[in-house]
Amino acid sequence: MPSRALGGDAPSEREGVATHCAYCGLQCAMTLTGTSAADLTVSPRRFPTNRGGLCQKGWTSAELLRTPGRLTTPLVRREGELVPASWDDALDIVADGIVRTQTAYGHDSVAVFGGGGLTNEKAYQLGKFARVALRTSQIDYNGRWCMSSAAAAGIRCFGLDRGLPFPVTDIGSAHAVLLLGANPAETMPPFLTHLVRAADAGGLMVADPRLTPTASKAIDGGGLHLQLRPGTDAALALGMVHLAVTEGYADRRFIHERTSGFDDLWPIAAQWLPERVERVTGVAVTTMRAAVAALARARDTERGAYILSARGTEQHASGTDTVTAFIALALALGLPGNPGTGFGTITGQGNGQGGREHGQKADQLPGYRKIDDPAARAHVAAVWGVDPDDLPGPGRSAFELLSALGTDGGARVLMVHGSNPVVSAPDARAVSERLAALDLLVVSDFVLSETAAIADVVLPVLQWAEEEGTLTNLEGRVLRRRRALTAPEGCRSELDVWSDLAARIGCSTDFPTDPRVVFDELRRASAGGPADYSAVTWDRLDAGESLHWPCSTERPQGTPRLFLDRFATPDGLARFVPVDHVGPAEADDTAYPLVATTGRVLQHYQSGAQTRLVAELTAAAGEMFVQVHPDTAESVGLADGDLADVVSRRGRTRAAVRVDEDMRPDVVFLPFHWGGDARANSLTHAALDPTSRMPEFKACAVRLEAVA
């Protein structure tokens, strides 16, 4: 194995640096070799998650390090234009804006918006900076739009949220896997290596409104595609619970010994007769019956059955209840908490798991503690050296924070780190208007994203291969990110930025700039919390240990598999929670007769701010498109390749028509990686889940219009 750089100078060409990919939550292992960005090369490294594979984004990840669009000097807006400035001038503008605004309007007049790609150290320090230096409650992050519904459902039913409560390699032995709104063939292709056995056994099943490449793989292997109408996932789940019970597949012993609340859920599920579910979802009774039977058969014969959720099921105004309903299906079948079976969620962003554990969310403190818990406040305040009473309480969730900007009671200054809400936020046109109403918008980034382009101050920060740190992948496995390159002159780490700003605004609390020191503080702050990192050290990670949290003095080897003995609830039992299907927040009608759903393509990542700068990826992905059934296209005079406007009650998006006979006639699909007139989130609905505050990205009413 190549040697590993532990810090200090960038390694020489012959050494190579063992690190992990910049993109998704699978965090594929790779080795970086070279002496500069110009000659840096990427090669895959064998690791349990990716088994030596990389996707196209991973293979081309070094190209971003040498993009001509790289920011290397601060920019400030003067007379309407962004112009270069010194670091001192830029930070003086930011500090003066913070002090002046908070003096006039209070602490909550300054807000922070973080990102799921920040390292654990930066996610932790950003939460500390907001609550101690700024003393604001107004902090949230784009991970609220990724995993929050699954997280809320996991806490509700299991007492704990960790995307996969088992190693991803466990899935490789499964003979049946039900994927809910997941398309890993495009979003994280190396994940498919863990689905080979299920696919070969005819047990790969995909619930998705589209025939995605993942769904095609399932069908090719003799598996199933449950092609449901967007927003009807909960009805499908309850119908499958109904079938599991009435057809004798329920694990009665497991339900009796390891769960509670079944008698509260069953009266609801009992009403979801299979024929009713078929009318609501469009999924045939025979398909549902076959899916439940396949899971039960794999459970009984090979102890290899898993149900995995992802954004297609979760990004709804009822996403928490929907995931809760599918957890009920898993519990009815006796899957969670048993070796070889289980329920989990596929985390999307690179540090989506760690990013939500250590303080970026409006309601959380490090270690996945609740900010309104007096004991949690006391513990973290002691680590930070502040009075618990000085810590703010819960703030607004991501969309609520953004939609209040510039209004009475909303923030007037916003600092954005690792996010591009101009493209990624729901009802993005309205969000852009709120950003424009700010007194001061500060963006830290390494490229000029759409959000950075409208900022008042842009601070150039480090890229992934230029920094040290840790991340936590979709299995709760803590990983080391290692520096392979020296950053261009003029770029700084966010840790340096926050330390400098804290001093400039008069905060006496120490904000370390060495990521290793920050991680040691994070360990202390997380100790005793649900996400306990206290026994994880850089030395152990650098020695090659694979550590899953919780990892404490009581569990020094970490916890790859949760819930084998008990669930994380007070009584140790998993909970059936009574939920019902409610459907999308916005109904289609004669003016907007179609349902639009959004998602990703293979070559692009999130808002596309990074991947759209890589020529190979942009060439392969092509232009923005809308995927449409041929009958639907013909009904409005459109043909394959035509330009169309997709119009919702909030805005319009221009896209090239891709006719696809496998689409449902009542559904259109748009990828969300483009900005400007091609921005898919100009259409989407900002109705929020009452528990998770997740917006409804996956269902909104639209119509198609031909472009002259």
Q: Is residue 698 part of a domain?
A: yes
The C-alpha angle with vertex 286 and arms to 282 and 287, in degrees rounded to 5, equals 65
pLDDT for the residue numbered 10 = 43
Please report whether residue 538 resides in a domain: no
- What distance in Å separates the CA atoms of residue 700 and residue 685, rounded to the nearest whole number? 6
pLDDT of residue 147: 87
Q: Are residues 332 and 187 in the same domain?
A: yes
Over residues 659-684, the mean pLDDT reads 97
Are both 357 and 322 inside the same structural domain?
A: no
Q: Where are the alpha helices (DSSP H) in 333-408?
A: 352-355, 374-384, 398-403
Structural domain includes residue 533: no
| Partner residues linked to 259 by β-bridges | 574
Q: Is residue 237 part of a domain?
A: yes
Phi, psi of 682 (to 5 degrees): -70, -20
In a domain? residue 488: no
Residues 306 and 418 in one domain: no
627-645, pLDDT tens digit by residue? 999 999 999 999 999 999 9
Q: Which of 313, 346, 379 is the last residue of a domain?
A: 346
| pLDDT, tens digit (0-9, with 9 covering 90-100), for 255-283 | 999 999 999 999 999 999 999 999 999 99
Task: Answer whether residue 86 is part of any domain.
Answer: yes
Q: Are 530 and 550 in contact (CB under 8 A)?
A: yes
Same domain, 333 and 357: no
Do 321 and 193 lie in one domain? The reply is yes
What are the residues whose beta carbons fall under 8 Å from the beta carbon of 595, sequence distance 6 or more?
Answer: 229, 230, 231, 584, 588, 666, 667, 668, 699, 700, 701, 702
Separate counts of helices (H) and strands (E) for the chain: 26, 30
> Same domain, yes or no, for 33 and 111?
no
595 close to 575: Cβ distance less than 8 angstroms: no
Q: In whole angstroms, give the CA distance from residue 428 to residue 651.
A: 9
Say if residue 180 is in the same domain as residue 31. no
Pick from 324, 346, 368: which residue ends a domain? 346
Query: Looking at the domain assignment, is residue 85 inside a domain?
Result: yes
Q: What is the pLDDT of residues 67-110, one digit of tens each?
A: 998 999 999 999 999 999 999 999 999 999 999 999 999 999 99
Condensed to tens digits (0 to 9), the pLDDT of residues 398-410 reads 999 999 999 999 9
Residue 396 and residue 362: Cα distance in Å, rounded?
6
Q: Which tokens in the block code for residue 240?
A: 């499958």
Q: Distance between CA atoms of 644 and 634, rounded to whole angstroms? A: 12
Cα–Cα distance, 38 to 455 (Å, whole number) = 29
CATH of the domain at 32: 2.20.25.90
Between CA 493 and CA 122, with CA 396 as vertex, the angle to 5 degrees is 15
- The pLDDT score that the predictor gives to residue 15 is 72
* 0.85 surpassed by pTM: yes
- Do residues 303 and 398 share a domain? no
Q: How confident is the model at residue 9 (pLDDT cuts 50, 70, 90)?
A: very low
User: What is the average pLDDT across 473-500?
Assistant: 96
Rounded Cα–Cα distance for residues 25 and 116 (Å): 9
Distance CA 249, CA 589 (A): 39
Asked if residue 141 and residue 57 are part of one domain, the reply reads: no
| The pLDDT value given to residue 84 | 98
Give the CATH number, domain containing residue 687.
2.40.40.20
Q: How far is CA 100 from the centre of its chain?
A: 34
Residues 394 and 361: their CA atoms lie apart, in Å, by 9
Given a cut of 70, is residue 7 above it in pLDDT? no
Give me the mean pLDDT over the 8-31 stretch: 79
Residues 365 and 324 in one domain: no
Alpha helices in 37-118 (DSSP H): 56-59, 61-65, 87-105
Q: How confident is the model at residue 419 (pLDDT cuts 50, 70, 90)?
A: very high
- The Cα 669–Cα 697 span in angstroms is 12
pLDDT of amino acid 436: 96
Looking at the structure of the chain, the number of domains it has is 4
Q: For residue range 149-206, what is the model confidence (pLDDT) as tens digits? A: 999 999 999 999 999 999 999 999 999 999 999 999 999 999 999 999 999 999 999 9
Tell me the pLDDT of the chain averaged across its residues.
95
In a domain, 204, yes or no: yes
Token duo for residue 393: 């309480």
Can you give the residue range of the structural domain that contains 274?
148-346
Query: Given this model, what pLDDT does residue 349 score?
Result: 87
What is the DSSP code (8-state) at residue 130?
Answer: I
Residue 469 confidence (pLDDT): 96
pLDDT score for 674: 96
> What gap in Å lies between CA 449 and CA 454, rounded to an integer?
9
Label residue 140 by pLDDT band (50, 70, 90): very high
The CATH code of the domain that includes 152 is: 3.40.228.10
Q: How far apart are CA 620 and CA 662, in angstroms?
A: 22
Q: What is the pLDDT of residue 394?
A: 97
> Are residues 128 and 220 both part of a single domain?
no
**Pair (267, 152) in one structural domain:** yes
Paired tokens of 214: 């993942």
Q: Are 65 and 465 in contact (CB under 8 A)?
A: yes
